Structures are given as structure tokens and as C-alpha cells.
Amino acid sequence: MPEIKVTPLGAGQDVGRSCILVSIGGKNIMLDCGMHMGYNDDRRFPDFSYITQNGRLTDFLDCVIISHFHLDHCGALPYMSEMVGYDGPIYMTHPTKAICPILLEDFRKITVDKKGETNFFTSQMIKDCMKKVIPLNLHQTVQVDDELEIKAYYAGHVLGAAMVHIKVGSESVVYTGDYNMTPDRHLGAAWIDKCRPDILISESTYATTIRDSKRCRERDFLKKVHESIERGGKVLIPVFALGRAQELCILLETFWERMNLKAPIYFSTGLTEKANHYYKLFITWTNQKIRKTFVQRNMFEFKHIKAFDRSYADNPGPMVVFATPGMLHAGQSLQIFKKWAGNEKNMVIMPGYCVQGTIGHKILNGQRKLEMEGRATLDVKLQVEYMSFSAHADAKGIMQLIRMAEPRNMLLVHGEAVKMEFLKGKIEQEFSIDCYMPANGETTTVTTNPSVPVDISLNLLKREMALGGPLPDPKKPRTMHGTLIMKENSLKLVSSEQALKELGLNEHQLRFTCHVQLQDPHSDADTLHRIYTHLKSVLKGYTIQHLPDGTVIVESIVIKVSSSAEDSNTKVLLLSWSYQDEDLGSFLSSLLKKGLPSGIC
């Protein structure tokens, strides 16, 4: 039985460092290659030694596919390809290819330059790694090799995020990466066709959450920002440079315009302007509305939002600052947070998920005293608000995707074990399919039962189809008979006659003849006619002919009559049939042995 094996190296019952190995039809594929934000040691990268203890990965992997540019999905890529060693193809969408190296470089700078870590990948490694990337277009079917094909679907979530459909022969797997089933202010909703994969590997970040409508959340967000500004407070919104940031910018921009607000909005780091530029150039990846109106007004050209400079943080008066990174674990957002944390007028709004171990996670859990480096503690007095803006599918969305794709098995990754357990129960109950949730390093094996593709001779197919009438009737299935010829790698289904011909074989005729004695006081001709009438009444739906040369033919069975030499009342019937009519011939001989019923003329 063919099998598909799935082993998460990261993101198994966990969020962060997504890296999932899939073996399908003899091909090995790595899905995502991310890092973990919560760790600073070896654990931040997936454990590639699982694949091989010594040396490079090139021989063990057929391809690597990156779903989107978030670091927990691509952060370990240069490490994997340049330091561990992998020279095969890496696939990602165009926007991901454009943005991913920038985020990697950013990440590298923070780790190496600021924290002074060594043994980390270099700028050159990022560049070398990106050279191995082959860009993907949506819905394009890419043939990795003769057997392995992959196809990308739109996933929402962030610019350029994709789900991938991986297919070898008639086996297939869909990996969602992170996705979002509801369109937002700048991206559309994820979509996939009814591709019926053997396994659907889905993220489950919000496995137990069913979120209220987006509008409510937006209104809440604007209200909180507005109140704080009115109070004269400063609002810090830690974000990742690309993604939610743009959505919130559009939101604030329109709100500022409508309310005629004057308080400045800043966006930290030079990356942002660049980021907005990416959105302009990749407008085909945004939602319908933005695409339609971009000629008249490009949504990503902001009037109210200006670049941030470090010195602005000490300016008096209210302001809103978007700063990176989103989980307050390093960089500018952390610096500003430290400056503003002591004032209760200020506010920090966390618009996304925070990984365990980060400051973002701590303050969201209500911690008001933070231990900083060098034994210092920080009192958190400012308001902490959490607004779920991160674009993951919630439980409803995950179920919706299952309904769309109709998988035969379900596998959950990128979520917390407890929540997964709950969702797993729900999925198994609602769809009656198996649902798996392997931990890191644990292999899930799913046996597939693919149907066998065969080439059928058109003559045979047409003949069979014609039997069922001009239109196929699903209620009346047609039985078809033929011969399957297996030769090298080809499977051909042909009629028996054609099979003989194609294989250069002679037909061997097998015939049977048997004599039946019958008491019938009539002339030979009359007896024959009586037999004819009798058979006519017994055999409905068979062709029965009475030929002038003194034979009755039922289908291809020949019946002849002659009188016995001794007794003219004893008739000897001669039945002859070929093997192909065995059942009917056998039936007739036993039928006639019983004699003819009286009362037929």
C-alpha cells in the first residue's frame, strides 16, 4: 500500500519554526523552514539532523517550499541551505521572494550586530540562498520533476502568502501555511478548489477561537486609539513591518481623514516606506477593492503617516507609533516600550499573536513587572490592550477550508496542543475523517489507496457506453469485460479480441457437443419446431432462430434433431456450443434432458 508520511520538525503542537517534512510517492518535500521567536539558542532552528546526521540535505530533499515571508516560516532558510547545505530548488511566490530577504537581513542584524552572536548566517549567505529560489505564480502548475508537481493557491494572511498543493501521481497533500478565510482591508480571503487531497495540513493557531466580526474589532481598535489620543497619551503598536501594519495603516488613515485628527502617526524604520512600495507593485495580490481603484488612488500612499525618528519618542503630546518587531522581543518597538511603559496615560496595543518567552507574551498575561537585562526591572504602568488582528483562520475558517478541499485526512500543525485536541475532536465528529496532530519529530503515516490509471481502448469504451443507451444512467451501471495487458510501464485495457491480436496469439476454440435423447412421437421437423416453441417460451431475451436447414440456433448454440435408428419415437438431439456460451449450453442440455412439456404444438 502506498503511504504518505508527515513529520513536523517544527510547529508540531507548537507555534513557531514551522518545518514539516512530507514523503509522498517516493519524493521528500520540506514545507517551510522557520525559526522560533521564543528561543535564542539552538532550539530556534528546526533540528535538521533528523534528516541526516552527516552532511548536506540536497540528496534527501526533492524541494523546499516556503509559504510566506514571516520569519517563523522562512527564518531558518539561509541556515538550512548555506550552513547545513542544500542546493535543490526552493519555491516561493514573487512577493515572498521579494520581501523574505529583507526580513532575514533585519533579523540577522538584530541577532548578530545588536546581540553580538556569532556562528550565524551572513548577508552573503542570504543572497546565495535567494539565488536558489524559483518564484511561483498563483495557480501555476509547476513540474518539479517528471512526477512531482506543485500548485500555489491564494492564502490571504500576508502579501504573497500561499497554500500549496503537492501531487505525485494520484496522491496529493495540501499545506496551508498560515491563511485567512475572511477578506480584510487589504487582502482577499484564502481559496482552494475541491482538490480532495489525501492529507490537508492546516495551521491551527486559532483552533478554539471564533472571532466576532472584523468590523467590531476595527471599531474597538479605533475607539481605543482615539480615547488615548484625546487624553494626550501616546499609543505604541508593535507590528511586523509587512502585513498587519498595512491594514492598520489603511484603517487609521481613513479614520484620521474622516475625524480630521491632527495627532501625528509615525511608522518606524525605513523598511516601511519600502514595504508600502511592495504593496503598490504587487497590487495583484491584494483584494478586489484595492485592485479596482488603484489607478485612481493607490491605497498604499498614505497622507497622514510619516516616517519615525528615534528622537520623536520624547516629543510631548499625543502620537501613534507603529514599530517593529511585533512581539516586543527586540529592536525599536522594545526601546519605545521601555520609554513609555511608566506612564499610565500611554497605551500599547498588541495586534497579533505573541510567542511564549517574549515580552509581548508576558505583558499580555498581565505581568506588570518585567525583568530586563542587567537585573533591572521595569514597571509596566501603561495600558495593555490586545486586539486580534493577526490574519489566521479561526475554527470556523478551518472548517470552511475543509469543506472546500474535501481532504481524506486532516493534520494539524502550528497551534497549541490543547487547542488542537479540541479542534481535532470537532473535525472528526463533523467530517468523519481521521485527524492527526503529531508532535515535533513524530511521524504520521497515512496509507493511501489510489485508483490505478489505465488506458482503455476507445472501441471497447464506446461499445460499452453504447450498451447503456445514448445517455449514461447512473442508476444502471454497465458491466464491462476486457483484458488488461500489462507491459513494461503501460497498462492497457482492450477487448479480448484485440488483446489476442496485439499479443500475436492465436485463439483456441473450445467446443462441446452433447447428445440428448428425447421421447417425442412426432416427425423430426415437428420435434424441432416443438423445441423451438418451448425454448421461445423459456428463454426470454435470447435470440432464437429456426433455420430452414433443420437447425435451431440459440445465440450461437446449434441444436439438431435426428431419429434414433431403432425407435422413431426416440429422438436424438445434438447440441453444440463453444466455450464462450458455456453457461447457456450447459443449461440447455439439462433443460432438454427433462423432455418437452406436453401441450405445445
Partner 1 sequence: MKLYCLSGHPTLPCNVLKFKSTTIMLDCGLDTTSVLNFLPLPLVHSPRLSKLPGWVSKDGTINLEKRELLDLSTIDVILISNYHCMMALPYITEHTGFTGTVYATEPTLQIGRLLMEELVNFMERVPKAQSATSWKNKEIRRMLPGPLKDAVDVWMWKRCYSMQEVNSALSKVQLVGYSQKVELFGAVQVSPLSSGYSLGSSNWIIQSHHEKVSYVSGSSLLTTHPQPMDQSSLKNSDVLILTGLTQMPTANPDGMLGEFCSNLAMTIRAGGNVLVPCYSSGVIYDLLECLYQFIESANLGTTPFYFISPIANSSLEFSQIFAELCHNKQTKVYLPEPPFPHAELIQTNKLKHYPSIHGDFSSEFRQPCVVFTGHPSLRFGDVVHFMELWGKSSLNTIIFTEPDFSYLDALAPYQPLAMKCVYCPIDTRLNFHQVSKLLKEVQPLHVVCPEQYTQPPLTQSHRSDLMLELQPPPMPYRRCSVLNLPFRRRYERIYILPELANSLVPSEIKPGVSVATVSALLHSKDNKHTLQSVPKPPPMPPSKKRKRVIEEPPVALAPKPMLSGAVALEAFLATLQKHGITEVKVEETADGHILHLQAEDTLIQLEEDGTHIVCDSEPLRTTLRDLVLRFLQKL
Q: Residue 157: which of 189, 185, 135 has the closest Cα?
A: 189
Pick one of 146, 488, 549, 566: the residue that binds partner 1 (CB under 8 A). Answer: 488
Least distance from partner 1 to the Cβ atom of residue 322, Å: 19
Cα atoms in the Cβ-side hemisphere of radius 13 Å centred on 447: 2
Q: List binders of partner 1 among 147-206 (CB under 8 A).
A: 151
Q: Taking CB under 8 A as the rule, does residue 519 contact partner 1?
A: no
Q: Taking CB under 8 A as the rule, does residue 512 contact partner 1?
A: yes
Q: Taking CB under 8 A as the rule, does residue 229 contact partner 1?
A: no
Q: Taking CB under 8 A as the rule, does residue 584 contact partner 1?
A: yes
User: Which of these ranges, 30-38, 65-73, 360-368, 583-591, lies near partner 1 under the rule CB under 8 A?
Assistant: 583-591
Q: Cα–Cα distances in Å, from 458 out to 300, 310, 422, 465, 492?
A: 57, 75, 51, 10, 11
Q: List binders of partner 1 among 255-284 (CB under 8 A).
A: 274, 277-278, 280-284
Pick one of 92, 236, 319, 516: the residue that binds partner 1 (CB under 8 A). Answer: 516
Smaller CB distance to partner 1: residue 258 or 508?
A: 508
Least distance from partner 1 to the Cβ atom of residue 596, Å: 15
User: Which of these ranges, 4-12, 33-41, 73-81, 510-518, lies near partner 1 under the rule CB under 8 A?
Assistant: 510-518
CA–CA separation, 474 and 493 (whole Å): 22
CA–CA separation, 257 and 297 (whole Å): 15
CA–CA separation, 601 and 597 (whole Å): 10
Cell of 508: 483456441
Where is 590: in which H helix or E strand? helix 582-593
CA–CA separation, 271 and 279 (whole Å): 12
Cell of 346: 500611554
Q: Residue 92: which of 35, 163, 148, 166 has the closest Cα?
A: 163
DSSP 53: S
CA–CA separation, 41 and 129 (whole Å): 22
Q: Taking CB under 8 A as the rule, does residue 475 contact partner 1?
A: no
Site string for partner 1, 405-424 (x = CB under 8 A): --------------------
Asked, as a colleague might, if the bond just before 474 is cis with ω within 30 of 0, I would say no
Q: Taking CB under 8 A as the rule, does residue 97 contact partner 1?
A: yes
Cell of 130: 535567494
Where is 363: in which H helix or E strand? helix 359-364
Burial of 439 (0-12, 13-18, 19+ CB in 10 A): exposed
Q: Taking CB under 8 A as the rule, does residue 556 contact partner 1?
A: no
Least distance from partner 1 to the Cβ atom of residue 199, Å: 17
**By rule CB under 8 A, what count of residues binds partner 1?**
84
Give the number of other CB atoms < 10 A from CB of residue 342. 12
Q: Which of 171, 203, 253, 385 is catalytic?
A: 203
Q: Taking CB under 8 A as the rule, does residue 503 contact partner 1?
A: yes
Q: Taking CB under 8 A as the rule, does residue 479 contact partner 1?
A: yes
Pick one of 454, 466, 525, 547: the residue that binds partner 1 (CB under 8 A). Answer: 454
CA–CA separation, 350 and 344 (whole Å): 16
User: Which of these ranges, 116-124, 396-404, 504-512, 556-564, lies near partner 1 under the rule CB under 8 A?
Assistant: 504-512
Pick one of 122, 141, 443, 564: the residue that binds partner 1 (CB under 8 A). Answer: 141
CA–CA separation, 96 and 155 (whole Å): 12
Q: Taking CB under 8 A as the rule, does residue 478 contact partner 1?
A: yes
Pick one of 309, 455, 526, 567: the residue that binds partner 1 (CB under 8 A). Answer: 455
Q: Taking CB under 8 A as the rule, does residue 461 contact partner 1?
A: yes
User: Which of these ranges, 42-50, 410-418, 421-429, 481-489, lies near partner 1 under the rule CB under 8 A?
Assistant: 481-489
Yes or no: say if 404 and 154 are a contact pair by the CB < 8 Å rule. Answer: no
Q: How many residues does the structure list for the chain? A: 601
User: Which of these ranges, 48-56, 204-212, 420-428, 492-500, lies near partner 1 under the rule CB under 8 A?
Assistant: 492-500
Smaller CB distance to partner 1: residue 276 or 324?
A: 276
CA–CA separation, 455 and 485 (whole Å): 10
Q: Is residue 301 annotated as part of the catalytic site, yes or no?
A: no
Site string for partner 1, 36-75 (x = CB under 8 A): ----------------------------------------
Q: Taking CB under 8 A as the rule, does residue 357 contact partner 1?
A: no
Q: Taking CB under 8 A as the rule, does residue 562 contact partner 1?
A: no
Q: Give me the sheet containing 409-413, strands edge to edge.
A: 141-143, 148-154, 162-168, 171-175, 199-203, 409-413, 434-436
User: Which of these ranges, 138-146, 204-212, 411-419, 562-570, lies near partner 1 under the rule CB under 8 A?
Assistant: 138-146
Known catalytic residues are: 203
